[in-house]
Structure 1
Amino acid sequence: MNPDNLLNNLHVEHPRLMLKNDRFSELKKLSETDTTLQSYVTKSIKEADKALTKPLLEHKIPDGLRLLGTSRDCMARVYALGLAWRWTGEQKYADNLLENILAVCNFPDWNPRHFLDTAEMSHAVGVAYDWLYPVLSETDRVTIQNGLIQHGLEPGLKAYAGTESYGWWVKCDHNWNQVCNAGLIVGALAIAETHPQYAQQIIPQAVESLPRALKMYGPDGAWAEGPGYWGYATRYTMFGFAALDTALGTDFDLLKIEGMSQAGLSPIYTTGPTGMYLAYADCGERPHHSPMASMFWLASVFNDPFVADAEHRLIAKTDRVSPQHVVWYVPQPNSEIAHPSLDKRFRGPVELALFRSAWNDVNALWVGIKAGYNEANHSHLDLGNFELDALGVRWARDLGSDNYNMPGYFGDQRWEYYRLISKSHNIPTLNGQEQDPSGTATLTQFDTTGTFPHAQIDLTKGYLNQTKSIVRGTALINNRRAVLVQDEFELSEKTNIAWGITTDANIEIAGTTATLTQDGQTLKAHILSPTGATFTVESAEQGPPEKTNEGVKRLMIHLPDQLNQARISVLFSPQWPEGDNITKTEVIPLSKW
């Protein structure tokens, strides 16, 4: 693109970012008849009222590294207070927001060494400047412009130029890319009519950088860093694209990148009936799918009523909504939305297979399994990991991430921490070793036809130099009322195999059967193969500084001194109240699935 022509179509008037006056007028009119929108606005204004009682934002780096908490607090206040002022016209909201924006513009810096902080603050200050523009004095405008330039845009230009070490994110392929590029795009467009040189320099470089990360949605919309970072990355993708669209009328064809149009399906499918995600990578503990305004944005730009309907249902269920849901509001479809298939395969750098017995049933059976590669940003050593929901309970779980500030968490001590290594996940280990940190796994089968929906993952390259071959199969059986997990090994030497799952349930062992009870429900696990194997129970608890995992258990199978070939086949049978709970099924070699 030609920087000289970049701003030819700039919407010169303010507000130009996210919510222009014509769209705002549409929302106001719609709210006269749309009671759902009315309720979202009411809750957003209540959030603004809470913001009025908070102390002034301060430059705080509590962990010695991140200003991010302050940046995110600022962003939340901008949307809450800014929307409340625009909706009600009450000056108290604008006054409070301006006071906080002037405060952050007078910070000594926005902590560019951890550039997420700088980018999020640039976004927040840019939107505040744009929305408050009509009531800003000339002195206030200059103060905010100078703060944005000095603390945000100038450090951003140094990042693109590669003259500062904190600019590494320009060439990365994960969430930092979207957050940093989008934050700078928003900040540059906010002051583009008075300081065009920043938009002319930043936007071309951001548009060049963004595809490195956006391609990671391809081809089906999932995200290698896990569902938690899907939310973060997609939120800032929304901010950046929406700013380009409202200010310039173009997204430079970035929305055409493969996978973007399918991205809204990812958090829906990776959420089990319990409301918890398939928690691969650095996902939080017991991570629940919470409402995200980016779902409305995706539903709008890709005309996807299923995604819009799913977000409305989630808001109704959780009673949580943000001011951004008002900004990107999409009415709930009037007619019943046909659900897509029960099962979904997400291809890409990290591959997922998801199966369920029903939609919109908290007691439904659901299983998710992960393939891909262990070098993905925020990845754990968890190739082949699965999680299982049934009867409203998460029976097989992932412990989630640990404290990012522990020594070497993102460095040379990463694979010393229990929650990140193979031994804490629902996968086999061989001779006590972890998976290869550079290992990969491929989803080789995904078949949802007939009465045996299943997936297979070739895990061999995830256990490099540990075995000749290891393949995991996962299937829903008995009319989607039970789950079969089967692992087959070709061994290159005498091998001790440890097979396990992590669970919060109470466990009683009776030989080849383990009875798991939790929240008044029961699931039975049956060893179908090998003959003579039995279950044992171990503790997943750890000592500080790691999270302690209090009360968490490991249901284990140990097979010592295995030679040549081995197979572990386990049937998970939820004890449905209506009966028909199977205890066995034929063990069929994976090659014949």
Structure 2
Amino acid sequence: MLFGFLIQAQAYTEKNLLQKHTDLKSLEKVLIMNQKWVPYPTYEDRAGWDKFLGDYKELYIKQGEKKLNYQWKVIKATDYIEYERSGSRNIMENPFDDNNKAIATLVMAELAEGKGRFIDQIINGVFHSCEMTSWALSAHLGAQRSGRSLPSNKEHIIELTSGDLGSLLSWTYYFFNKEFDKVNPIISERLHSELQKRILDTYMNEDRFWWMAFNWKQGDMINNWNPWCNFNVLQCYFLLENDREKLAKAVFRTIISVDKFLNYTNSDGACEEGPSYWGHAAGKLFDYLQMLYDGTGGKVSIFKEPMIKNMGEYISRSYVGNGWVVNFADASAKGGGLASTIFRYGKAVGSEEMMHFAAYLNSLTDSKKGLESDISFGRDIFRGLQTILYHKELLKETPSHTNAPYTWYPETQFCYMNNKSGLFFAAKGGYNNESHNHNDVGTFSLYLNTIPMFIDAGVGTYTRQTFSSERYSIWAMQSNYHNLPMINGVPQKFGSKYKATDVLFNSKTRTFSADIANAYPQEADAKSWVRSYTLDKEKLKITDTFALKNAKQNSRINFLTWGKVDISVSGKILVEVQGQKVALLYDKKVFTPSIETIKLDDSRLSNVWGQEIFRISLIAKNLKIKGTYKYEIVKQ
């Protein structure tokens, strides 16, 4: 069957799924007040916690004991300023993250033991946090009106980490405010006051934060920040606000905002940010929807919407095997969602595929290691508690994962195909202003027996340059370091108008094709450049059919790979990775091959690929205004 997609990829559709299920008046009536929705024991219910934690109990206590003498780290003014000076984020983020993880660890240890042994250190962490000018990261403080990276005491902003800490401290208040009062009532008063000012009031009084999308206009991006931040705000309100009218207004405000994210997201469910962002995008959306479901007694739910299921199953469809995933944009080639999140999501939307896949991921570690890794959830206490809540069900699920013969996302323009000989292929159309964008319209990845052979490198450690006007000076973001042509010596360009056209997928012939000429700027002089991929039994056929206005430079066709590469045999390039072998076949009369070694001095890349990867270039021997180039990648 032939599938086509000819409209703008980033179309915003007024679906408003949540608002179609409820309005403010209806919502107010179904809200469960005074935290009666919380599915966990109260702090005082020791038998309840013993039963709830089970085998986890001692693990949490042992983790907490490591933090009994934790020295709370000071984030200096110069740590914030360093972001402007050098672009470094870690100098500020690392100690801040250590503090937040320590709070979460101590909270869980006290819930597990219940003897008050960890209360003083929790108080230290709480008070230390309350004394901070801001809970936001230096990299995100540009949302301040000053636009600078040093926090101002004149305003509060809600972003990813301030929201995370806000929700963590809201749970801390919920569980321990009475215990704090036994020490000194000022502790709970101060904590509630800070949460009120920094999160609750700020959310209701501000609409300028881009992720809220209240002032959205065509061309603006809405990504994982929206469900992530709204979920944190929703937690804070459900845990702290006990006035029904105020709570209803706040919850409905989050509904309006999250609907903007759902409107922006394609109904096919693909995550344009890639699998390693699924947990922050679709995964956080699910957490938000779960909290909304719990806080309304199941009266407000869109889990039966096909789009929500599609968004969930993207993570299982993008899994190649042995930890490798299909990665585009800033996503890593390894990793994806947590098994517990995938299982919970799958159960909510009725996806056997997701539940079996979650069990499969969970089965890759033995039970002891599984427990220890599950409790290392960082500052996200909600997911930690939910992991425990669903763990026994997850263990009963049958582990399995089978790649579908093909998966086609017509709106997002992602295409996956695989065959019985072990080849798994992925390609994309799209446009060059996707969230976490790389200029990569038309690129592909190819795997053999789950091992990536032709790759997308991913992204290095985030710095100021990563999300600035300097972004496309970084090699990994450029099309000439993806599996794509340089046309007349010109790479693709950033911007929504640089996109694929005439994107087609034929399931019978196993062919994906797209005209990628419009992804290149005017100086490339490209009238058309149709890149097509056909997956056969033992090989991948790649064809470039092109027409240029002028032929100013010899065409250069780039391929990125790793492992061992041998270009010594004319017409045949051998690639061997972890015992898997393929040959890239080309017409030796048409092309001259070259190879460039790319040294990886960034740990975020080298942890995946090792110390180096390679760019293979096929350089056309003759200038051509129009013609067809053909290449094949064949199993060896």
**TM bracket (short chain):** 0.7 to 0.9
**Identical aligned residues as a percent:** 17
Kindly provide the CA deviation profile for residues 545-586 of structure 1, in whole angstroms up to 9, marking residues without a partner as x. 9989952211111115432433232222233xxxxxxxxxxx
Superposition map of 1:215-364 within 5 A: 215-250=263-298, 252-255=300-303, 259-284=307-332, 286-289=333-336, 291-318=338-365, 319=370, 320-322=373-375, 323=384, 324-329=386-391, 330-332=393-395, 334=397, 339=402, 341-348=404-411, 350-357=412-419, 364=422
- Relative to structure 1, is the Cα distance of residues 298 and 76 closer, same or farther in structure 2, using a 3 angstrom cutoff? farther
CA distance, structure 2, for counterparts of residue 229 and residue 31 of structure 1: 29
CA distance, structure 2, for counterparts of residue 544 and residue 441 of structure 1: 31
1:456 aligns with 2:513: yes
CA distance, structure 1, for counterparts of residue 545 and residue 470 of structure 2: 31
- How far did residue 89 of structure 1 move? 3.8
- How far did residue 70 of structure 1 move? 6.3
Structure 1 unmatched ranges of 5 or more: 33-37, 576-593
- Relative to structure 1, is the Cα distance of residues 238 and 124 closer, same or farther in structure 2, using a 3 angstrom cutoff? farther
Secondary structure of residue in 1 paired with 2:595: strand
Structure 2 letter corresponding to 1:491: L
Kindly provide the CA deviation profile for residues 215-246 of structure 1, in whole angstroms up to 9, marking residues without a partner as x. 34432221122222222123432332232222
1:397 aligns with 2:455: yes
The residue aligned with 1:589 is none
1:56 aligns with 2:78: no
CA distance, structure 2, for counterparts of residue 202 and residue 270 of structure 1: 35
- Relative to structure 1, is the Cα distance of residues 445 and 547 closer, same or farther in structure 2, using a 3 angstrom cutoff? closer
Q: Is the 8 A contact 2:271 2:282 kept in 1?
A: no
The residue aligned with 2:147 is none
Q: Is the 8 A contact 1:7 1:248 kept in 2?
A: no
Q: Is the 8 A contact 1:15 1:130 kept in 2?
A: no
Instruction: Quote the RMSD (CA, aligned, Å).
Output: 3.8
- Relative to structure 1, is the Cα distance of residues 266 and 507 closer, same or farther in structure 2, using a 3 angstrom cutoff? same
Match of 1:365 among 423, 428, 450: 423
Superposition map of 1:126-275 within 5 A: 126-133=170-177, 135-137=179-181, 138-160=185-207, 162=208, 171=216, 172-193=221-242, 199-250=247-298, 252-255=300-303, 259-275=307-323
- How far did residue 379 of structure 1 move? 0.4
Superposition map of 1:14-29 within 5 A: 14=35, 16-17=37-38, 19=40
- How far did residue 396 of structure 1 move? 1.2
Kindly provide the CA deviation profile for residues 436-490 of structure 1, in whole angstroms up to 9, marking residues without a partner as x. 32311257333344xx533222323223543121122222212xx3322222212
The residue aligned with 1:125 is 169
The residue aligned with 1:429 is 486
Q: Is the 8 A contact 1:290 1:314 kept in 2?
A: no
Q: Is the 8 A contact 2:574 2:583 kept in 1?
A: yes
- Relative to structure 1, is the Cα distance of residues 101 and 365 closer, same or farther in structure 2, using a 3 angstrom cutoff? farther
The residue aligned with 2:152 is none
Structure 1 letter corresponding to 2:239: A
- How far did residue 302 of structure 1 move? 0.7
1:477 aligns with 2:477: no
Match of 2:434 among 355, 376, 392: 376
The residue aligned with 2:127 is 102
The residue aligned with 2:153 is none
CA distance, structure 1, for counterparts of residue 294 and residue 328 of structure 2: 35
CA distance, structure 2, for counterparts of residue 411 and residue 326 of structure 1: 40
Structure 2 letter corresponding to 1:124: L
CA distance, structure 2, for counterparts of residue 276 and residue 513 of structure 1: 27
- How far did residue 327 of structure 1 move? 3.7
The residue aligned with 1:507 is 565
Q: Is the 8 A contact 1:383 1:440 kept in 2?
A: yes
| TM-score relative to the length of structure 1 | 0.81
CA distance, structure 2, for counterparts of residue 565 and residue 44 of structure 1: 66
- Relative to structure 1, is the Cα distance of residues 6 and 311 closer, same or farther in structure 2, using a 3 angstrom cutoff? same
CA distance, structure 2, for counterparts of residue 405 and residue 445 of structure 1: 37
Kindly provide the CA deviation profile for residues 57-91 of structure 1, in whole angstroms up to 9, marking residues without a partner as x. 65568454566656755665566554554455454
The residue aligned with 2:378 is none
CA distance, structure 2, for counterparts of residue 17 and residue 107 of structure 1: 29
- How far did residue 48 of structure 1 move? 4.7
- How far did residue 191 of structure 1 move? 0.9
The residue aligned with 1:486 is 543
Q: Is the 8 A contact 2:35 2:238 kept in 1?
A: no
The residue aligned with 2:556 is 498
CA distance, structure 1, for counterparts of residue 562 and residue 472 of structure 2: 23
Kindly provide the CA deviation profile for residues 4-28 of structure 1, in whole angstroms up to 9, marking residues without a partner as x. 775544433446446477xx99997
- Relative to structure 1, is the Cα distance of residues 469 and 44 closer, same or farther in structure 2, using a 3 angstrom cutoff? farther
Q: Is the 8 A contact 1:158 1:167 kept in 2?
A: no
Structure 2 letter corresponding to 1:474: Y
Kindly provide the CA deviation profile for residues 509-558 of structure 1, in whole angstroms up to 9, marking residues without a partner as x. 2011011123333222212x574424321233489999899522111111
Q: Is the 8 A contact 2:313 2:354 kept in 1?
A: yes
